[in-house]
Amino acid sequence: QVQLVQSGPEVKKPGASVKVSCKASGYNFGDYGIYWVRQAPGQGLEWMGWISGYNGNTKYEEKFQDRVILTRDRSTTSAYMEFGGLRSDDTAVYFCARGKNMAELRNTFDVWGQGTQVTVSS
């Protein structure tokens, strides 16, 4: 079945970086984009960025573009989010999600990873 499986929880100190992975299976990885969405404790959903599964093109939400790098590896059907300059208010669950419409950037999300808890604390 189509699924996205993310890496485990992380605890980081302020100023550090974190890299979260998202392993895709059950579909042709190159046909769909992967999106990253975060959710702070008790809060709503916030889109962070997109990476094309096909060619690795990226698009970032403006507030994250100086601190986030999205990459992907077609050989392992995995996507990665590296987030630097972590602050306490970056403590959140980070989700990867598949865009439902192939080859579209403006998209809805039909498959989600289980989420990765990132805690930033001194």
Partner 1 sequence: DIVMTQSPESLVVSLGERATIHCKSSQSVLYNSNNKNYLSWYQQKRGQPPRLLIYWASTRESGVPDRFSGSGSGTDFTLTISNLQAEDVAVYYCQQYFNLPLTFGGGTKVEIK
Which stretches of the chain bind partner 1, using CB under 8 A? 35, 44-47, 59, 61-62, 95, 97, 100, 105-110, 112-115
CB nearer to partner 1: pick between 13 and 89: 89
**88 — phi, psi (to 5°)?**
-60, -35
Using the minimum distance from each CB to partner 1, give the nearer residue, 49 or 53: 49
Give the integer Cα–Cα distance in Å for 12 and 91: 9
CB of 99 to partner 1, least distance (A): 9
Q: What is the nearest approach in angstroms of partner 1 to the Cβ of residue 47?
A: 4
How many whole angstroms separate alpha carbon 101 and alpha carbon 121? 38
Distance CA 110, CA 72 (A): 19
Please give the Cα distance from 66 to 63 (Å, whole number).
7
**Closer of 32 and 35 to partner 1 (Cβ):** 35
Q: Closest separation between CB of residue 118 and partner 1, Å? A: 15
Least Å from the CB of residue 43 to partner 1: 9
